[in-house]
Amino acid sequence: MSESESVNEIFGAHTAKVMASSLFANISMTLFKDGILFFMAVYGLSVFLETPKDLRKGRTRYIVISFLLVFSDGLGASLDCYEVFKCLFEATSAVGYLDMVDQNTRTWPRYVSLVSMIFTILLGDVLLVYRCYVIWQHRWWVAIPPALTCLAAFVIGIIPLAVTTHGELTEYYYELARVFLTVLTNIMVTSLISFHLLTARRRLSKVLPGKDLDLYTGVVAILIESALPLSVFGVVYAAIVCAYPRAFSSPPTVGPYAAALNIFAFFFFGFCALSPSMIIFRITTGRSWLQFPRQSSNGEISSPLNFVHHTAESGFMESSIDRQRLEVDLETSSKH
């Protein structure tokens, strides 16, 4: 065995170990994340079923979406877990493991996993765009650009699965375009929602007490409603994906690059499901609105806030009375 072959074998063994470790960590954290999704969906459903029928209006769609997210994300995670176990169990060497990983990119469980991932991203992005539309309903057309990039990302994600692409590099360009369009959608939605919540905080302060104002337009509310973590991790993941050709051109960088790719892939794709689920959780537990208050021509609030109920722990009849009082305060404020 020549010296160059020996060096390549050492790098191959190290790369396989790093890839296997990071991929296993990705799968383990994904299963934990799916447990969180399941808890939020079931808890939201329990709150929904305990809510009087007159207060359930407008929330059924959110309950359905939460369970669709759990199912699609859980299906992909289960199949990925199966693939990782299969590769680790059947591989007899480091090089054999890398060959198994390459072969499993063209199996039916991998295709189903990719379809479920694309569906999860589409479902989450559609919800984020819809929430952007709800908040910007007085200027609904601002939601058109993120809606178009969301649709384009979905189409580009389906193309490699529906047609035969020529070469790994072509598939990489499709993946790069899909990631950038998804990240662009998230950045636009985050910017639009954050800007509107910050500008609306001053107007809402006239009709909401300090505690409620922080609950609906505070830092935590803005972080969740705008899906800011998703946008941040999306930018980092997109930057890592851009480095793919250069990283794989040098054997010493393959291992560290694969580890970074797998770890940040978890955070990006994880928050593609977590961010919309956290928004739904806030809605079902009464910490967010179903319809954002409309504005009059002079910029003042001209319609009542449509909250589900104050908090999950508070009584629904009491929250209904509080909501009626808030509507009266809003109407009085708009007159003045």
CA distance 204 to 208: 6
Residues in the chain: 336
Rank 14-18, 41-45, 280-284 by mean pLDDT and report only the highest: 41-45
Helical packing angle, 144-162 and 168-204, nearest 10° = 160
Query: What span, in angstroms and rounded, lies between the C-alpha atoms of 128 and 147?
Result: 9
Q: Which amino acid is at 336?
A: H
pLDDT tens-digit map of 167-182: 566 777 888 888 899 9
Q: Mean pLDDT score of the chain, rounded to an integer? A: 76
Q: Where are the alpha helices (DSSP H) in 91-107?
A: 94-103
291 phi and psi angles, rounded to 5 deg: -135, 130
Amino acid at 288: S
Average pLDDT over residues 118-142: 89
* Host H or E run for residue 290: strand 289-291
Radius of gyration from C-alpha coordinates of the chain? 23
Find out whether 334 and 296 touch, Cβ atoms under 8 Å.
yes
Among residues 290, 138, 311, 133, the alpha carbon closest in space to that of 214 is found at: 311
What does the block give as tokens for 314?
A: 């508070």
Closest by alpha carbon to 277, among 41, 32, 27?
41
- Who contacts 87 (Cβ-Cβ below 8 Å, separation ≥6)? 20, 97, 100, 101, 104
Q: What is the pLDDT of residues 197-214, one digit of tens each?
A: 777 666 666 555 554 555
Percent of the chain past pLDDT 70, that is, above it, reads 70
The tens digit of pLDDT for each residue in 31-72 reads: 999 999 999 999 999 988 888 877 777 788 899 999 999 999
Q: Look up residue 306 and give its amino acid.
A: N
Residues in Cβ contact with 308 at an 8 Å cutoff, skipping those fewer than 6 apart: 51, 55, 58, 59, 283, 284, 285, 286, 290
- For residue 166, give both structure tokens: 């020529």
Q: List the structure tokens of 307.
A: 């909250």
